[in-house]
Structure 1
Amino acid sequence: MSTGVIIALIVLVAAVLIVAAVLTLRARGSRHGGSLKRRFGPEYDRTVARHDGDTKAAERELAERVERHGSLRAKPLEPAERDRFEARWTAAQERFVDSPREAVAEADRLLSELAGARGFPDGGRYEEQLAALSVHHAHHVDGYRRVHHAANGGQADDGTGTGTERLREAMVEARALFERLIRTDHGDHRATRTPAREHHQPWAALNRRHPKES
């Protein structure tokens, strides 16, 4: 066999190995991305949008969140502590009718304190706390994001009643995360959605849409 043929065979084998390696890496990346999308659900789409459609950048961020917070196990609440949180949430809901902004600000504080009590990063590090919550409660975390935004000056009322409606929607969404944190004993990143418990909470004022103000 001539030297030229041997060289050609070596080049061909090397090319086949390179192609196989590239295809393997792509397949792994696709499976990894699919796993993150299943885990994070709407949070995955939101992160991709924040990265202007760059799925690789979004997946790197989400993978880093899992690496930092995936092993977190929520601390249990004492019954008296749980009762205090539930009483404060009930009071915030009742306050919403007359003072929606104050109610939403209290909901923001409550979620921050409750998450901290369950072992998530302290509420003083909001972004890190939100990232940790997104790993374990991805389908409910956006409610916290919305009330935090509202409590810090976002979603201003424009005089037509739509501002109050947005606050009501934020409060209702935040309720879902509150229920997950107050009831579950461990992080749950599965896509299963657990409906909020309503038997002990006066939800009527929040679930009722507010008419537009004149």
Structure 2
Amino acid sequence: MSTGLIIALIVIVAAVIVVAAVLSMRSRGPRGGRDLKRRFGPEYDRTLARHDGDAKAAERELAERVERHGSLRERELEPAQREEFEARWTAAQERFVDAPREAVAEADRLVSELAAARGFPEGGQYEEQLAALSVHHAHHVHGYRHVHRVARVSASGQDGDRADTEEMREAMVEARALFEELTTQGRRAGRNDGTARTEKPAARATDRTDDRGESRSPLPWAFNRRHAKGS
């Protein structure tokens, strides 16, 4: 076999490999995008908007988050830990009526401390903690982002009007969804046969029943606007 023929074969093989690699990348691209969109849900849309609609840039960022935090294993909370967090959250909600700024700041701290207790990065690394939470709790992580931002604005010392109070209330409501997911997810008790079962979440102090046995909430999340104005 001549040298020229050998070189020609090498070039052909190399070209085939390159074409195969390009086709493989193209075939993985849309599927990867669909997987990321399904995994991140609203967080995907938010990241896409932050990158001005650049899907490749948004998906690259989300893929990097998965690579960094996808293998994280969340720790179980001890019953005493869970009860303490839930009691503190209830106290923060009840405090909102008279001191909304302090209540929002406490809610921000609680989510940060709870996430750290579950095995996420410490709250001092807010951006990294938020990124890790977005990988595992994408549908509720916005609540943490919102309450953190509002807590920082409130701490600046600027006086707020009714709209500010309403935004603080909304931030706490959104953060509560993530808080409850972090406190109730993975709550298990062992059976005698060695298997595990999911416990029914204990009734919270925030969920009370009236004389007819129907659930009602005494907290400010059912505020009408007149009540919120007076807070």
Answer yes or no: same fold by TM over 0.5: yes
For 1:182 and 1:57, locate their aligned partners in 2 and report how far apart those are by CA, in whole Å.
33
CA-CA distance at 1:27 after TM superposition: 2.1
CA-CA distance at 1:162 after TM superposition: 1.1
**Are 2:102 and 1:106 aligned?**
no
Going from structure 1 to structure 2, the CA distance change for 1:31 and 1:154 (only over 3 Å counts) comes to farther
Deviating beyond 3 angstroms after TM superposition, the runs of 4 or more aligned structure 1 residues are 11-24, 154-158
Corresponding letter in the other structure for 1:27: S
Secondary structure of the corresponding residue to residue 114 of structure 1: helix
Structure having the larger proportion of residues in strand: 2
Question: Does the CA contact (< 8 Å) of 1:104 and 1:150 recur in 2?
Answer: yes
CA-CA distance at 1:39 after TM superposition: 0.1
Partner of 1:90: 90
For 2:14 and 2:64, locate their aligned partners in 1 and report how far apart those are by CA, in whole Å.
34
- How many residues in Structure 1 have an aligned counterpart in Structure 2? 197
Corresponding letter in the other structure for 2:26: R
Partner of 2:131: 131
Question: Does the CA contact (< 8 Å) of 1:165 and 1:209 recur in 2?
Answer: no
Question: Does the CA contact (< 8 Å) of 2:40 and 2:138 recur in 1?
Answer: yes
For 2:159 and 2:149, locate their aligned partners in 1 and report how far apart those are by CA, in whole Å.
13
Question: Does the CA contact (< 8 Å) of 1:140 and 1:173 recur in 2?
Answer: yes
Secondary structure of the corresponding residue to residue 153 of structure 1: helix
Partner of 1:149: 149
For 2:71 and 2:41, locate their aligned partners in 1 and report how far apart those are by CA, in whole Å.
19
**Higher RCO, Cα 8 Å, sep 6+:** 1
Partner of 1:168: 169
User: Structure 2, unaligned stretches of length 5 or more?
Assistant: 1-10, 188-200, 208-216
For 1:104 and 1:158, locate their aligned partners in 2 and report how far apart those are by CA, in whole Å.
13
Question: Does the CA contact (< 8 Å) of 1:41 and 1:139 recur in 2?
Answer: yes
Question: Does the CA contact (< 8 Å) of 1:41 and 1:138 recur in 2?
Answer: yes
When normalised by structure 1's length, the TM-score is 0.81
Secondary structure of the corresponding residue to residue 152 of structure 1: helix
For 2:222 and 2:128, locate their aligned partners in 1 and report how far apart those are by CA, in whole Å.
30
Question: Does the CA contact (< 8 Å) of 1:107 and 1:174 recur in 2?
Answer: yes
Secondary structure of the corresponding residue to residue 116 of structure 2: helix
Secondary structure of the corresponding residue to residue 71 of structure 2: coil
When normalised by structure 2's length, the TM-score is 0.75
Question: Does the CA contact (< 8 Å) of 1:164 and 1:210 recur in 2?
Answer: no
Question: Does the CA contact (< 8 Å) of 2:121 and 2:129 recur in 1?
Answer: yes
RMSD value, Cα: 2.9
Please say which of residues 204-213 and 80-89 is displaced more in the overlay. Answer: 204-213
CA-CA distance at 1:24 after TM superposition: 3.5
Going from structure 1 to structure 2, the CA distance change for 1:210 and 1:59 (only over 3 Å counts) comes to same
Partner of 2:34: 34
CA-CA distance at 1:199 after TM superposition: 4.4
CA-CA distance at 1:132 after TM superposition: 0.3
**Cα deviation digits, residues 75-130 of structure 1 (max 9, x gap):** 11111111110000000000011111111100000000000001000000000000
Partner of 2:184: 183
For 1:198 and 1:177, locate their aligned partners in 2 and report how far apart those are by CA, in whole Å.
17
Question: Does the CA contact (< 8 Å) of 2:101 and 2:154 recur in 1?
Answer: no
For 1:198 and 1:47, locate their aligned partners in 2 and report how far apart those are by CA, in whole Å.
36
**Cα deviation digits, residues 161-200 of structure 1 (max 9, x gap):** 11111111110000000001111129xxxxxxxxxx7941
User: Structure 1, unaligned stretches of length 5 or more?
Assistant: 1-10, 187-196
For 1:77 and 1:16, locate their aligned partners in 2 and report how far apart those are by CA, in whole Å.
54
Match of 2:222 among 187, 207, 213: 207
